Amino acid sequence: MSNCNVKIKINGEVIEKEIESRWLLSDFLRDKLGLTGTHVGCEHGVCGACTILLNGEPVRSCLMLAVQADGLEVETVESLAEEDGTFHPIQQAFANNHALQCGFCTPGFLMSVKNFMETHPELPTDDEIREAISGNLCRCTGYSNIIKAVKDAYVLKC
Amino acid sequence: MKQFVGQNVKRKEDYRLLTGSGKFVADMRIENMVEAAILRSPYAHARIRNIELSRAKNYEGVLDVIVAADLKGKVKPFTEFVEFTLPPQLEADIKPTIKKNPEPMLAEDKVTFVGQAVAIVLAEDRYVAEDALALIKIDYEPLPVVTDPYETIKEEAPVIHPELGNNIQSYFEVKVGDIDHAFRQANHILKTRIKTPRVSGNPLETRGVIAEYQERNQQLDVWSSTQVPFMVRSYLSKLVGLVEGNIRVVAPDVGGGFGPKCAVYPEEIIIPYLAMKYKRPVKWIEDRLEHMQSTRHSRDQVHDVEVAFRNDGTILGLKDQFLLDNGAHNSFALCCAYNSAAHLRGMYLIPNYDITGRIVLTNKTPNVPYRGAGRPEAVYVMDRIIYMIADKLNLDPVEVSLRNFVRPEQMPYETGIFYRDGANMILENGDYVKSLQQALKIAGYDEFRQKQEEARKQNKNIGIGLSSYIEGTGIGPFEGAAVKVDSTGHILVGVGSSPHGQSHETTLSQICADVFGVSPEQVSVRAGDTSLLPYGVGTFASRGAVTAGSAVHGASKQLKEKFLLITGEMLGVSIDDLEMYGGKVYLKNSPSKFVTLQEIAQAAKPGPRCKVPKGIEPGSSATYYFVPPTVTFSSGFHVAVVEVDKETGFVDILRYIVVHDCGRVINPKIVDGQIQGGVAQGIGGALYEEIIYDKNGQLVTGTYMDYLIPTAMEVPEVEMGHQEYLSPHNPMGIKGVGEGGAISPPAAIANAVCDAMRPLKIEINTLPISPNKLRSLIEEAERTESVLK
Amino acid sequence: MKPPKFSYLRPNNLQEALDMLAEYGDDAKIMSGGQSLIPLLNMRLSTPGYIIDIGRVEELKGIKEEEDAIVIGGITRHVDVEKSALVQEKCPLLTEGIRWVGHNQIRTRGTIGGSIAHADPSAELPCILTALRGEIVMVSSEEEITVSPEEFFLSYLLTSLEPNQLIKEIRFPKIKKGSGYAFEEVARRHGDFALVEVAVVIELDDDGTIADAKIALGGANSVPFIPEAAEEFLIGKLPDDSILKEAATLQLDDLDPEGDIHGSKEYRRYLSGVLLERALNRAIDRAREGVFA
Ligand SMILES: Cc1cc2nc3c(=O)[nH]c(=O)nc-3n(C[C@H](O)[C@H](O)[C@H](O)COP(=O)(O)OP(=O)(O)OC[C@H]3O[C@@H](n4cnc5c(N)ncnc54)[C@H](O)[C@@H]3O)c2cc1C
Ligand code: FES
Ligand code: FES
């Protein structure tokens, strides 16, 4: 109906809330839960800034209703670093390689890359990396440092 | 002593941005806040007959709906942006016509472009606000629309703003030498039309404003995704009639700017006004559809050029009449248009030069500067001409370039015109021949020609194209920095510039750290906040490092001097006996005798224990405003290597090379990042991006499905080479680097594509080079060729 | 850009879904992956009273093998098809083509039924399904019917689906052993909808002549286009460059693509010929090499 209850495991914590069923997952995360690391750049599925992991897979949170995530598991950029603040290897690699400028697109890239590395355990080629991040737009960096960072993340991970 | 300037110091900005704890305007929520949504004109040109708001106002969750009539007498309309008016010397020299043409806050009785703001809904949340937008009924009477710059200057064109008389808003001429004589002397004259289309900067973060007013102390706090918070403050104060000191404008983390966020928008005035009026914080976040329509666009120039040259390729003179289609308004005087006129000759001598610029108005979104601001257009014209001359004379384009360069022995070279800041435009230093040679070497130019021959035999079309640019960077009028040492010995730097990806917190801390001999870790830099300094300008026009960097350098040096004086007083010695390094002041030659910054800062406190020498203000801070004498010229060469799929018209960039001079490099990785990012935007302009309107003034490229921003699949890694000719115009020798990457790609890539298609003769004089367009050019050339045969 | 108000319904099984459709169909929109529907909602170009989210209807999910077809449930996601070993083995044209659908982050939500129902003339799946001469199985609370792509795709974004029907499954015929196949596409940027795309399956006889040719073009018409004359022309021929070129350009005049800012009518028509020739070449090479033997 026009309101509904959702129960979503977000970054390891089960959240239960009543929301309007038309609310987008991106807005739910940002406005209702304060998880503003997930950014919104286009709200029509092209820019990738809102990319999160749903049951471990990258999806556009602007192209999902929050209620569609009911009963599922969501990971956002806020879940990446360790509790003591230590970077996840992908974050470290981005910092090492100047893979961000304004940083607006960055959370989306990090989430896409996390899934990519999990599903491609062997060091990929540049072209494979390019393809993997081609669903995320960055207007600042021109991508080449992001590609370097992804390769670096493979090194840091082991 | 370790120096940090010149090192790849890791960015201080990164931690928060990588962990999702950055704060962009949209990330902020304030208790009791309402959200705004804006109704925008669906017509390009129409009279507003009637507005019916009652259903929207009565919708549940709506606080109010505001239209132009509600602002009457409360919020003044924009005047022009005085920041862009011409300095008197320049005005006297070129005697321009500039008609005042400011944009209204909300459309009142007429709309003049699709996307113009007409009404604002305030509601409990954005969902509700958007529901209410659909309930507003406006009765429009459509008026004739004009979207073409050549149509709009015709006598019979509908006049967009009757008070201006016609649609030609500005006019100016710049002349050097004797153009008629030059044309009489020439062996050849070439005439062509070269066009750079309308594009959009499209930072990934859209615009957005939040305002909160506290009645208690009349404090108005505004957070805006802007490049120029001081300018926002100034216009807010002027137009709403507020005490400037009661306004604080903050640009928090800003997700890219590139120019479009570089002036004040109506929303930045109205939203704060509404926060005051309704005594509730108000938030407005532009969505991408609004952004495509209402955030100002850029470029859109057409040049009709004639060039006179000799058989050996020497250019004797160049005439150019160009139009800049600025959309429905121009509040920026001659900004981009004059930049184009001043930069068109680039590195080339061209002793006789005659250029006329006209800024014309059409029923489209207003234009503003965007990364490169008038230079990509000029460079596209100039470097296409170099290739066309080469073609005509059957010379290699490199030879034509070399024939025409300003030579190192001619430096500093007087161009014979004024720069936009009113100073004589002088190319101060550099060696263009050497830079070009470096670029050609990286590209393997000579070997490439051989490879190209072989490829042709296998029916493969590969080509190489060059482009060069110069860019006046670091424009004034000033930038400020305040440096202070707190009582823990930590250094705090506040600057008036306002970054949105440029890494000020890192590079400026490097500069400051070197002056005090400390690690950048010991320095915190704050920016984008009008409470940091009395005056500030902002981040645009490749000016951040040059102006804010020099200001930080100056303020740090002043504070260091003061700290030496205080130490002299503390130790009872002359300051000649003191030296500062490692964050301490030492008695010369006695490494065990020192005081720390913390101790000095404490000794600087007013009061009985103060050790500040008499006649000097107590305190551990210094403020310095750097006023550049004029701009400083960066320069560079771009080389594109492409392959064209002749059958489909698709272009693949195989290699991209940049050799550039940005003076002193503060942080190499950050400089390289600016170049790579600029090139990506340039590639967008060369191959993908175009803002298109139909005949009715409807925006056809209103989403990211139609406005094509390059992805990682379309942008190659740029190979770079560096030249370091220090700027004589600032103490550290810095030149700006922010825009250079974006200036040359359209010219380099278009030249490469033409080169790839040879011996077929095609001229790419419009952008972007879409596969459809390229195929048409190829077909046309093939037809011509077969007719000739 | 926020969705308008609607009532949200989430059936737990097919029967519930069909009942809801029967009741609310006229004022309802089915939501599967939402990757085409939600952008429309965000832009308020679609304002249904009800959203029926079929995303949890297990009966509509899955990839199974039947004698001559791979049968894919309507809400099966693009990624699941992309990664399916069964699809790769029996219908590799689908594996090759589906990678062209948007980006991974779209394919993790987007579904086969959604792509077919959305009927974008430039979308990959309608073109592939048409080339394979597959079938679409639609159900309502009253009946289940199976239609061909030609019956299903009516025009630009328009299909024969009735408000009370949904796509239950889609039947992708297996590609016969010894056949060659190819999917060719060009788009302005990687991941964009195609300017033009071509799907081809070629069967060769032992003597190298073409035994069967199945072709579909996307982006070249308001619905996927089968160049029947070109197919007929090819059958029985020993393929060489000039034959393939002739076949590729035989029916260009029959194409009626929609021109837009990315490509004019003429350009798309011309491009169809270029891509068809490339696809035919590649498919024949594959058939000859017995890659799929
Ligand atoms: C950025 C971006 C890029 C894209 N690029 C491409 C591309 O290159 N190629 C391409 O093909 N697609 C592309 N798409 C579209 C994408 O593939 C969609 O996922 C797909 O078209 C629809 O599938 P869905 O499951 O998401 O359908 P939904 O969005 O849920 O539904 C789409 C339509 O189909 C109807 N519908 C859905 N399922 C059924 C069913 N079982 N029975 C009856 N009706 C149904 C819905 O009512 C709706 O009208 C892109 C999308 C985005 C956002
Ligand atoms: S905001 Fe979701 S893809 Fe752009
Ligand atoms: S770092 Fe600014 S958009 Fe990617």
Pairing of strands C196-204, B413-418: unpaired
CA–CA separation, B628 vs B633, rounded Å? 13
Verify that A65 and A117 share a domain, yes or no.
Answer: no
Apex B387 CA angle, B384 and B389, nearest 5: 110
* Cis status of the peptide bond prior to A89, with omega within 30 of 0: no
Task: Specify the DSSP class assigned to residue B611.
Answer: -
Contacts for B696-700: CB closer than 8 Å, 24+ residues apart: B696/B44, B696/B145, B697/B43, B697/B44, B697/B45, B697/B113, B697/B114, B697/B145, B697/B147, B697/B362, B697/B363, B697/B364, B698/B44, B698/B114, B699/B114, B699/B115, B699/B292, B699/B293, B699/B365, B700/C261
Cα separation values, B764 from B381, B753, B777, Å: 11, 8, 8
Cβ within 8 Å, pair A45-C35 = yes
Question: Could you tell me the pLDDT band of residue A158, with boundaries at 50, 70 and 90?
Answer: low
Q: How far is the CA of C48 from the centre of ligand 1 (A)?
A: 16
Largest CA distance in chain C: 63
Q: How far is the CA of B143 from the centre of ligand 2 (A)?
A: 36
CA–CA separation, A36 vs A76, rounded Å? 9
Written as one letter, the residue type at B16 is R
Mutate to test the pocket of ligand 2, among A25, A29, A39, A50 (most ligand atoms within 8 A of CB): A50
Verify that A53 and A112 share a domain, yes or no.
Answer: no
| Helix pair angle (B504-516, B549-571), 10° resolution | 30
3-class state of residue B14 by DSSP:
helix
Chain A residue with CA closest to B21: the answer is A37
Test the C interface: residue of B206, B294, B648, B683 with most C CBs within 10 Å: B648
C186 lines ligand 1 (CB under 6 A): no
Classify residue B315 as left (phi > 0), alpha (psi -120 to 50) or beta.
beta
- Which CATH number is correct for C7-51, 1.10.10, 3.30.43, 3.30.200, 2.40.160? 3.30.43
Size of interface A-C (CB pairs under 8 A): 90
**Residue A18, in any domain of the structure:** yes
Mutate to test the pocket of ligand 3, among B17, B204, B539 (most ligand atoms within 8 A of CB): B204
Cβ within 8 Å, pair A2-C191 = no
Verify that A12 and A73 share a domain, yes or no.
Answer: yes
Q: Is C47 on the interface with A (CB under 8 A)?
A: no
Residue C186 distance to chain B (closest CA, Å): 9
B134, B288, B711 ranked by CB distance to C190: nearest: B711
Residue B10 distance to chain A (closest CA, Å): 7
Chain region(s) in chain B for CATH 3.30.365.10: 298-475+629-788, 479-626
C6, C105, C191 ranked by CB distance to A22: nearest: C6
| pLDDT single digits (tens) C106-159 | 999 999 999 999 999 999 999 999 999 999 999 999 999 999 999 999 999 999
Written as one letter, the residue type at B26 is A
Cβ within 8 Å, pair C261-B688 = no
**Residue A115, in any domain of the structure:** yes
Single out the residue in A79, A112, A138 at which a domain terminates.
A79
CA–CA separation, B224 vs B275, rounded Å? 14
CA–CA separation, B272 vs C163, rounded Å? 48
CATH 3.30.365.10 at B479-626, yes or no: yes
Contact A156, A89 (CB under 8 A): yes
CA–CA separation, C134 vs B484, rounded Å? 74
CA–CA separation, B696 vs B148, rounded Å? 11
Chain C residue with CA closest to A4: the answer is C8
Q: Return the H-helix or E-strand segment holding B329.
A: none
**Hey, which residues does B48 pair with through a beta bridge?**
B140
Single out the residue in A79, A98, A124 at which a domain terminates.
A79
Q: How far is the CA of B387 from the centre of ligand 3 (A)?
A: 34
DSSP per-residue string spanning C80-100: HHHH-HHHHHH-HHHHHHHTT
For residue A139, the domain's CATH number is 1.10.150.120
**Hey, which residues does C138 pair with through a beta bridge?**
C145, C167
Q: Tell me which residues of chain C, numbers 61 to 80, contact chain A at a CB-CB cutoff of 8 Å.
A: 79
Verify that A53 and A95 share a domain, yes or no.
Answer: no
Q: Is C237 on the interface with B (CB under 8 A)?
A: no
Q: Is B20 on the interface with A (CB under 8 A)?
A: yes
Chain C residue with CA closest to B776: the answer is C267
C283 lines ligand 1 (CB under 6 A): no
The number of CA neighbours under 13 Å toward the Cβ of B38 is 32
Give chains near C: 3+ CB pairs under 8 A: A, B
Relative to the alpha carbon of C61, which ligand is closest? Answer: 1
Cβ within 8 Å, pair A36-B20 = yes
Question: What average pLDDT does the segment C65-88 reach?
Answer: 97
* Contacts for B516 with CB less than 8 Å, ≥ 6 apart: B491, B522, B523, B556, B560, B580, B583, B597
Query: C48 contacts in A (CB within 8 Å)?
Result: none
Apex C246 CA angle, C244 and C248, nearest 5: 65
3-class state of residue C225 by DSSP:
strand
Q: How far is the CA of B384 from the centre of ligand 3 (A)?
A: 31
Test the A interface: residue of B14, B125, B507, B652 with most A CBs within 10 Å: B14
Single out the residue in A27, A52, A79 at which a domain terminates.
A79
Verify that A96 and A75 share a domain, yes or no.
Answer: no
pLDDT confidence of residue C291: 55
CA–CA separation, B720 vs B66, rounded Å? 52
Atom index in ligand 1 nearest the CA of residue A135 equals: 1
Q: What is the mean pLDDT of each run of 10 residues along chain B (789 residues)?
A: 89 96 97 97 98 98 98 91 88 92 93 98 98 98 98 96 96 96 97 97 98 96 96 96 97 96 95 98 98 97 98 98 97 93 96 97 97 96 98 96 96 94 94 96 96 96 97 90 95 91 92 94 95 88 85 95 95 93 91 93 94 93 93 96 97 97 92 96 98 98 97 98 93 90 97 96 96 97 88
**Residue A84, in any domain of the structure:** no
Relative to the alpha carbon of A107, which ligand is closest? Answer: 3
C1, C262, C264 ranked by CB distance to B289: nearest: C1
DSSP alpha helices (H): ranges in A55-158? 89-96, 106-119, 126-133, 144-157
Give chains near B: 3+ CB pairs under 8 A: A, C
CATH 3.30.1280.10 at C182-289, yes or no: no
For residue A25, the domain's CATH number is 3.10.20.30
CA–CA separation, A108 vs A37, rounded Å? 9
Mutate to test the pocket of ligand 1, among C8, C10, C36, C100 (most ligand atoms within 8 A of CB): C36
pLDDT confidence of residue B17: 97
CATH 3.90.1330.10 at C63-172, yes or no: no
Verify that A73 and A101 share a domain, yes or no.
Answer: no
CATH number of B298-475+629-788: 3.30.365.10
CA–CA separation, B565 vs B582, rounded Å? 18
A21, A24, A48 ranked by CB distance to C105: nearest: A48
Q: What's the structural domain count of chain A?
A: 2
Residue A120 distance to chain B (closest CA, Å): 18
Superfamily of domain B32-143: Aldehyde oxidase/xanthine dehydrogenase, a/b hammerhead (3.90.1170.50)
Chain region(s) in chain C for CATH 3.30.390.50: 182-289
Closest to B289 (Cα-Cα) out of B705, B699, B702 = B702
Query: A1 contacts in C (CB within 8 Å)?
Result: 7-9
C273 lines ligand 1 (CB under 6 A): no
pLDDT confidence of residue C293: 44
* Cis status of the peptide bond prior to C39, with omega within 30 of 0: no
- Count other C-beta atoms under 10 Å from residue B522's C-beta: 18
Chain region(s) in chain C for CATH 3.30.465.10: 63-172
CA–CA separation, A4 vs A2, rounded Å? 7
B130, B289, B708 ranked by CB distance to C189: nearest: B708
**Residue A26, in any domain of the structure:** yes
Interface predicted TM-score (ipTM) = 0.98
The range of the structural domain enclosing residue A102 comes to 89-157
| pLDDT single digits (tens) C206-257 | 899 999 999 999 999 999 999 999 999 999 999 999 999 999 999 999 999 9
Verify that A74 and A131 share a domain, yes or no.
Answer: no
